[in-house]
């Protein structure tokens, strides 16, 4: 018997078209699984039966009429930072409790138009600040491979939902690694597009020059499909590119024969990389070489400064984006105060968690007059150098490969008292955000019984190259994103 909660989009779509299962069957199977497992995983913050019932009915009608789109009847989960009309959306924060957006963001509405069904809203670090989902204003999510460990973050709920068989695919956002890192730690595929590829309209902003929306899936083909549906110009986001969404699929099945793949030495030997992670990456490099790729040594000399620059730029943008949460316009409101300033302060003190307050303070400081040149401007200059490092690397190779995360999933609580060690989780991913590049994490084996991710980064607008490498690796290695065995 086929387990309907372990399918890829591609396989589920085939069964739906054959008529051997209905969208309603898929939903029922997922809801049953969620009822059985989610109290251990805690991937979801809330469920959306009002949506899935109507959407499944419509999907089944379309399937019967032979009028199905690429995602018709496929159940998905959506990170709590993406606005969906009428669905409580809180960015993992108490300050937005009760907020129901009056509109649906572009990425989600394109998926709805393509027929996807929404099961619910997934947990995340508050305003996507974090690498473990422990900064959620509600509760931490647990890694389905070992429920005493973190799923990664900030999109940990989405990664865990796909890894636990609680959704066929999910949406996340990636500002410094928040799709790729949890994908790696949960053993699923996660992709961050080129900055500007997917509209950010309807995404609750963290750092607007870095944020991108992307998919979590069980295969590279599925990631390519979901991305191609979401991508493409949107007049509602001024940074959205004119390029067509379909472009990401160009020739991505062609294999790596003749491609040059760069191994950045600063990433390969990054501080703190676990031996088991390194061994899995070595094995992946071998698989790609055996497939006919030429492996070249490249350098990203400013890697050491990336983390520092990111943790100036991201908090600076965060402090400015989060200024709108004042208790007057959205969500929580502590207006019972002697004056308006005190009302703002009480609302923000009560509504924001410790990490949000830390970032707002860091960011406000870095942007303040007198410190702006020393910190913010300096960080922007480093950002340019990092971009240039990648430009130079891509003169010598078509894509670069590395581990996604230096470590496998760590125990819950292991890094919560030490923000710097938490920040180090993204040392291999945040360069891609600073430079605006597309990147993917694909499962590449296990270390200490936990999943390891292989990261592929490509040049700007080179999603098709990134997908091509990831797909060639997936096919040749036989390593597939599996539903976690505890489930």
Enumerate the active-site residues: 79, 154, 178
Kindly state the helix (H) or strand (E) to which residue 408 belongs, with its residue range: none
Beta-carbon contacts of residue 478 (< 8 Å; ≥ 6 apart)? none
Kindly tell me which of 7 and 314 has the beta carbon lying closer to ligand GLN: 314
Closest approach, Cβ 208 to ligand GLN, in A, equals 12
Backbone angles phi, psi at 101, to 5 degrees: -60, 145
Dig out the tokens for 208 from the structure.
């607007």
User: Within 10 Å of residue 380's Cβ, how many Cβ atoms?
Assistant: 15
Closest approach, Cβ 467 to ligand GLN, in A, equals 20
Residues that bind ligand GLN (CB under 6 A): 128-131, 154, 174-178, 206, 314, 426
Cα dihedral 41→95→178→148 (10° resolution): -30
Q: Exposed (0-12), middle (13-18) or buried (19+): which is 447, by Cβ within 10 Å?
A: middle
Q: What residue spans of 322-408 are helical by DSSP H? A: 340-351, 354-367, 378-396
The SS3 of residue 162 is: helix
Backbone angles phi, psi at 153, to 5 degrees: -170, 180
Sign, CA torsion 380/405/218/45: negative
Dig out the tokens for 72 from the structure.
């018709």
Beta-carbon contacts of residue 90 (< 8 Å; ≥ 6 apart)? 45, 80, 96, 97, 98, 99, 137, 331
Kindly state the helix (H) or strand (E) to which residue 189 belongs, with its residue range: strand 189-192
Beta-carbon contacts of residue 425 (< 8 Å; ≥ 6 apart)? 131, 132, 152, 177, 181, 405, 406, 407, 415
Q: What residue spans of 206-330 are helical by DSSP H? A: 220-230, 265-268, 275-290, 303-321
Strand partners, 454: 403, 442
The SS3 of residue 6 is: coil
Cα dihedral 167→172→176→180 (10° resolution): 30
Backbone angles phi, psi at 369, to 5 degrees: -65, 135
Closest approach, Cβ 322 to ligand GLN, in A, equals 13
């Amino acid at each position: 018997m086929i387990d309907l909660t372990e399918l890829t989009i591609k396989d589920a779509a085939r069964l739906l078209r054959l008529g051997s299962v209905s969208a309603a069957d898929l939903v029922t199977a997922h809801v049953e699984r969620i009822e059985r497992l989610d109290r251990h995983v805690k991937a979801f913050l809330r469920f959306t039966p009002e949506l899935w019932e109507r959407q499944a009915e419509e999907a089944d009608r379309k399937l019967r009429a032979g009028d199905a789109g690429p995602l018709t009847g496929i159940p998905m989960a959506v990170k709590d930072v993406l606005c969906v009309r009428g669905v409580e959306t809180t960015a993992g924060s108490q300050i937005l409790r009760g907020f129901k957006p009056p509109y649906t963001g572009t990425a989600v509405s394109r998926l709805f138009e393509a027929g996807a069904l929404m099961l619910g809203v997934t947990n995340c670090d508050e305003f996507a600040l974090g690498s473990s989902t422990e900064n959620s204003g509600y509760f931490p999510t647990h890694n389905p491979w070992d429920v005493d460990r973190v799923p990664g973050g900030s999109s940990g709920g989405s990664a865990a939902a796909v890894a636990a068989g609680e959704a066929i695919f999910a949406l996340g956002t990636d500002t410094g690694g928040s799709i790729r890192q949890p994908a790696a730690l949960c053993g699923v595929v996660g992709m961050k597009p080129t900055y500007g590829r997917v509209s950010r309209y309807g995404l609750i902003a963290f750092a607007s020059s870095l944020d991108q929306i992307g998919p979590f899936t069980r295969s590279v083909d599925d990631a390519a499909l979901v991305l191609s549906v979401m991508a493409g110009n949107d007049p509602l986001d001024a940074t959205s590119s004119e390029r067509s969404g379909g472009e990401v699929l160009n020739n991505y099945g062609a294999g790596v024969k003749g491609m040059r793949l760069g191994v950045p030495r600063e990433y390969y030997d990054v501080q703190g990389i676990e031996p088991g992670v390194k061994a899995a990456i070595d094995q992946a490099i071998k698989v790609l070489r055996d497939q006919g790729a030429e492996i070249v040594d490249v350098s990203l000399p400013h890697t050491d400064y990336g983390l520092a620059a990111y943790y100036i730029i991201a908090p600076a943008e965060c402090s400015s984006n989060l200024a709108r949460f004042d208790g007057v316009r959205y969500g929580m409101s502590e207006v019972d105060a002697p004056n308006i300033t005190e009302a703002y302060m009480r609302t923000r003190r009560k509504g924001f968690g410790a990490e949000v307050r830390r970032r707002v303070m860091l960011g406000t400081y870095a942007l303040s007059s007198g410190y702006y040149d020393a910190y913010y401007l300096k960080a922007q200059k480093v950002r340019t150098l990092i971009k240039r490092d990648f430009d130079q690397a891509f003169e010598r190779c078509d894509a670069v490969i590395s581990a996604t995360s230096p470590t496998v999933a760590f125990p819950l609580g292991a890094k919560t008292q030490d923000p710097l060690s938490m920040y180090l989780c993204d040392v291999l991913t945040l360069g891609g955000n600073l430079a605006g590049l597309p990147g993917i994490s694909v499962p590449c084996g296990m270390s200490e019984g936990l999943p390891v991710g292989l990261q592929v980064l490509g040049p700007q607008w080179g999603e098709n190259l990134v997908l091509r490498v990831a797909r060639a690796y997936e096919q040749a290695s036989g390593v597939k994103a599996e539903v976690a065995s505890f489930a």
